[in-house]
Amino acid sequence: MNPSLSSAVAWMRRRAENVVAGMLGIMFVAFIIQIAFRYLFNFPVGWTSELSVIIWLYMVLIGSAFWLKEHEEIRFDLVAGSLGRRGRRTVAMLVAAAIVILYGMSLPATIKYVAFMKVESTSYLKIRLDILYSVYVAFAVAITVRYLWSLWRLLRGDDVETADITKTSSAL
């Protein structure tokens, strides 16, 4: 990859990490505020849970689109990982093409749905849902661009990055 481009991508990844880690910190503090207000000040607040649930949605979509590498997600590497160099490249190209096509072709309907949601707002913070949900459009575009990019690199002859199976995520 072009060195200045790859350092720009690495920089973006690090900032995305800062943002997502920061969001988790805010969610944690919001919960503490929520409990403290209810018991210490006898004053239940609702905006904290709304904020937390918004953060949860944003953490996942932003983190997955801009931060995590493919092999850090929950995936199954046994079949693809057992192939030879050429086989893995072919398979990776197939997968990337499928994702570009699928996410790409649903994009117009996705934008339409998100735009339609302008009729509703959240209950406490009064955020219009089309604005709130536009993060999904950013996510879908980012995923499409990422796989398009990796498809282009694979076509140019780059190898598939080797993954460390012990870094594979799981909820278990």
Partner 1 sequence: MNPTSPFSFALMAIVALSLLGLPVGHAMIGGSILYLFLAGLDMGTAAEQLLNGMYGSFLLLAVPLFILAAEFMNTGSIMDRLLRFCNALVGRFRGGLAQVNVVQSIVFASMSGSALADAAGSGKLMQSLMTRDGKYPPAYAAALTAASSVIGPIMPPSIPLVIYALVSDTSVGYLFLGGVVPALLLGLVQMFLIAFTAKRRNFPVEERVPLREMPRVTWEAFPALMMPVILLGCLYSGITTPTEAAAVAAAYALLVSALLYRSVTLKNVYHSLATSARITVSIGMLIAGAMVFNYVITAENIPKTLSAIMKGYELSPVMFLLLVNVLLLILGCFLEGTTIILVILPVLLPTAIALGIDPVHFGVMAITNIMFGLITPPYGLLLFMMVKIADVPLRDLVREVMPFLGVMFVALMIITYVPSTVLFLPRLLGYQG
Q: What are phi and psi of 54, to 5 degrees?
A: -65, -45
| Tokens linked to 114 | 């998100």
Provide the minimum distance between the beta carbon of 2 and partner 1 in the complex, in angstroms, as a whole number.
25
Closest CB to partner 1 among 5 and 18?
18
Nearer to partner 1, 9 or 13 (CB): 13
Say which residue the tokens 């790409």 belong to. 104
CA distance 87 to 80: 8
Q: Min. distance of Cβ 117 from partner 1 in angstroms?
A: 8
Cβ of residue 109: shortest distance to partner 1, in angstroms? 4
Q: What residue ranges bind partner 1 (CB under 8 A)?
A: 17, 20-25, 27-28, 31-32, 34-35, 39, 49, 52-54, 56-57, 59-61, 63-64, 67-68, 70, 72-81, 91-92, 94-95, 98-99, 102-103, 105-106, 109-110, 112-114, 133, 136, 140, 143, 165-166, 168-172
Query: By C-beta, is 112 or 156 nearer to partner 1?
Result: 112
Rank residues 10 and 60 by Cβ distance to partner 1 and give the closer one: 60
- Minimum CB separation from partner 1 for residue 21, in Å? 4
Other CB atoms within a 10 A radius of the CB of residue 101 amount to 12
What is the token pair recorded at 111? 């934008």
Q: What share of the chain is helix, strand, coil (3-state, %, to 5)?
A: 75, 0, 25
CA 49 to CA 33: how far, in whole Å? 10
Smallest separation (angstroms) from partner 1 to the CB of 38:
9
72, 70, 63, 73: which is closest to 13 by C-alpha? Answer: 63
